[in-house]
Structure 1
């Protein structure tokens, strides 16, 4: 059904004259007559009776009028639902315990009035496809990026270089160290069953292991974070690697140790990616917040893969 014709019908019904409706709509009387005639043809019913005093609703016109008003109100609500800023900003954070979720929580604390829809997609490929298709507004990922939009209109900016830490149980050989160098981890068993070949995080840790001669084991099923912590806490030989902002909570009896890695410090390169044509105002606010709050790291003393 032509909404312009429905809008014209309502205008005539309210004004009582075709000419007055034309003046309100800033169109000609002929255009008003054509629109009403087309609507009557679509409905198979006469909506107005012309009289010397103007246009009078027929019985069918009176029956249709409240529904016509509902149609126009529904159209206004539909348009408003996609107006920039009228809906929540949908952001992919990879995992709700990881640094991107912490960065987004900090943004929400600084801007409590904004609406966010937080999702977790599997990997960078899924996030990029969601961005291209318009099902998300932004994603935090470790991806190569360059200045300006890519050929498919995707932009990115590095927002946080997250130091990687060693996590051990109390009986591990490095448990009492104040910090360790990456080279010192060579020969120790690092267990990370959640690594998936081909993902951005899998590629990052593969490159880290290759650069410093580390042994990262991915054997065994991945039952999630809590069973991983249970195993690390009870093992004198296994450790794992976690990001500095990874949210971990464990029972006091486990006595797990988070040990900084320096000399150099491996950092995980989180970037925010989005479509260049996305006009959502909260996206601008998020980018500005991340730019203002990004911590400074020294130009030397850190390690990231060459692709980052």
Structure 2
């Protein structure tokens, strides 16, 4: 398949007009039309409906679009694989709201000369490690409850304390802090937590240690819907990392209550592939070494989170 034709198809789908796609690609509108026509002949389908206002993908075009984008991503990765040191450092933070994203932003502020590509893979630690092994990403942040492959290096860099998040009508809304055992009997809602993931392993051990019940039932409508439900409830609560960046309207009146005595902490490591020579990776690892958490008394961690090797 002609990748330039595929690239042209994506450009037209995103621009909505052949002329705008031509400007974006730096070619003539006639060349755009020829590439699209050739791709349609090859696929034996009509990819666009032409209208006076532009071009709209047909049903076949809509079906082809995500695959076309993936083809281009694969091509870009193949190109980058032979251009060592030229592409940005690709780091997976899983979510831009959690502690690794905050730490990575601090790194960028300290090293603005480093080109970063911040990735948010939806995979658990197993999927993220596979992406690191394949070279899709340079590093990822995850809890690591199992041995890593021989090709993967891991170093403990984050201990994330917990906070209980409740609405204004919750019985604990006025509490200044709570112990883990004080959470027993409460409805701690964390919908969508899939079995077999590292976060499920963490909360299973936390629950067993302090007699907690984590409610994982219900569809996942996003964190905004979760916060709205908690704000409107007199018994729902959830646990969040102290560094996680969640925003909500003042009208919600949500309360954050530190969990202490002991303070449960979620342990996270940076993982990278042995032999990765990207020049910015060493800078990132050196930066993280200066901020490596010092474990003190008064915290709780799962049994599998023992001290990990240095960076």
Cα distance, 1:208 vs structure 2? 0.9
Question: What is the aligned partner in structure 2 of residue 213 from structure 1?
Answer: 211
Question: What is the aligned partner in structure 2 of residue 89 from structure 1?
Answer: 89
Aligned with 2:304 (options 293, 304, 307): 307
Task: Say if 2:161 is the partner of 1:163.
Answer: yes
Cα distance, 1:219 vs structure 2? 1.1
Per-residue deviation, residues 76-118 of structure 1 (Å, max 9, x unmatched): xx99984442210111111111111111111111111111111
Q: 1:198 to 1:191 in 2, by over 3 A?
A: same
Question: What is the aligned partner in structure 2 of residue 110 from structure 1?
Answer: 110
Cα distance, 1:295 vs structure 2? 4.3
CA distance in 2, matches of 1:280, 1:213: 45
Normalising by the residue count of structure 1, what TM-score does the alignment of the two structures yield? 0.70
Q: Say if 1:192 and 1:216, in contact at 8 Å, map to a contact too.
A: yes
Q: 1:208 to 1:131 in 2, by over 3 A?
A: same
Per-residue deviation, residues 276-307 of structure 1 (Å, max 9, x unmatched): 11011111111111111234341x21111111
Normalising by the residue count of structure 2, what TM-score does the alignment of the two structures yield? 0.70
Cα distance, 1:144 vs structure 2? 4.0
Cα distance, 1:244 vs structure 2? 0.7
Question: What is the aligned partner in structure 2 of residue 281 from structure 1?
Answer: 279
Q: 1:282 to 1:173 in 2, by over 3 A?
A: same
Question: What is the aligned partner in structure 1 of residue 137 from structure 2?
Answer: 136
CA distance in 1, matches of 2:83, 2:108: 21
Question: What is the aligned partner in structure 1 of residue 101 from structure 2?
Answer: 101
CA distance in 1, matches of 2:249, 2:174: 19
Question: What is the aligned partner in structure 2 of residue 256 from structure 1?
Answer: 254
CA RMSD of aligned residues (A): 1.8
SS of the aligned residue for 1:227 comes to: helix
Q: 1:267 to 1:197 in 2, by over 3 A?
A: same
CA distance in 2, matches of 1:79, 1:259: 49
Q: 1:200 to 1:145 in 2, by over 3 A?
A: closer
CA distance in 2, matches of 1:141, 1:81: 24
Cα distance, 1:152 vs structure 2? 2.6
Q: 1:218 to 1:79 in 2, by over 3 A?
A: closer
Alignment of 1:51-200 (within 5 A): 82-121=82-121, 122-144=123-145, 152-200=150-198
Aligned with 1:203 (options 201, 223, 229): 201
CA distance in 1, matches of 2:149, 2:162: 32
Cα distance, 1:211 vs structure 2? 1.0
Give the paired residue count: 227
Aligned with 1:232 (options 230, 233, 246): 230
Q: Say if 1:208 and 1:305, in contact at 8 Å, map to a contact too.
A: yes
Per-residue deviation, residues 9-45 of structure 1 (Å, max 9, x unmatched): xxxxxxxxxxxxxxxxxxxxxxxxxxxxxxxxxxxxx
> Where in structure 1 are there 5+ consecutive unaligned residues?
1-77
Q: Say if 1:145 and 1:157, in contact at 8 Å, map to a contact too.
A: no
